[in-house]
């Protein structure tokens, strides 16, 4: 699972880990990066490095995606528009 959100102060990694562990068979890694390099490996194009945009990466197995999404919406107070 991977995602991007705005400000690192708005992201609670501990809560995300708790939700994912409860809704998967094995979470192996979870990390948040606030400086991300996107390199498409296209000749003649430079990589794009971002800051103040947070990339979230969670690895594991047997994710119950619907339950994780609902838990994140509730726990992180996401608002859908």
9 or 78, which is more confident: 9
- Per-residue pLDDT of 29-76, as tens digits, reads 877 777 777 777 888 888 888 777 777 778 888 989 899 888 888 876
Which residues pair with residue 38 across a beta bridge?
48
Task: Let me know: does 25 contact 14? Beta carbons within 8 Å.
Answer: no
State the pLDDT at residue 1.
56
Mean per-residue pLDDT, 1-26: 76
- Other beta carbons within 10 angstroms of residue 7's beta carbon come to 10
Q: Which helix (H) or strand (E) holds 56?
A: strand 48-61
Q: What is the reported pLDDT for 53?
A: 73
Q: What is the mean pLDDT of residues 8-34?
A: 80
Count of alpha carbons within 13 angstroms of residue 33, beta-carbon side: 12
Residue 22: helix, strand or coil by DSSP? helix
pLDDT above 60: residue 22: yes
Q: Is 73 helix (H, G, I), strand (E, B) or coil?
A: helix
């Amino acid at each position: 699972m991977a995602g991007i959100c705005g400000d690192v102060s708005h992201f609670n990694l501990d809560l995300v880990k708790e939700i994912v562990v409860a809704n998967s068979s094995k979470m192996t890694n979870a990390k948040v990066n606030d400086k991300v390099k996107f390199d498409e490996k296209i000749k003649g194009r430079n990589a794009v490095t971002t800051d103040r945009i947070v990339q979230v990466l969670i690895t594991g197995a047997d994710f119950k995606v619907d339950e994780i999404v609902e838990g994140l919406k509730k726990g992180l107070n996401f608002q859908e528009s």
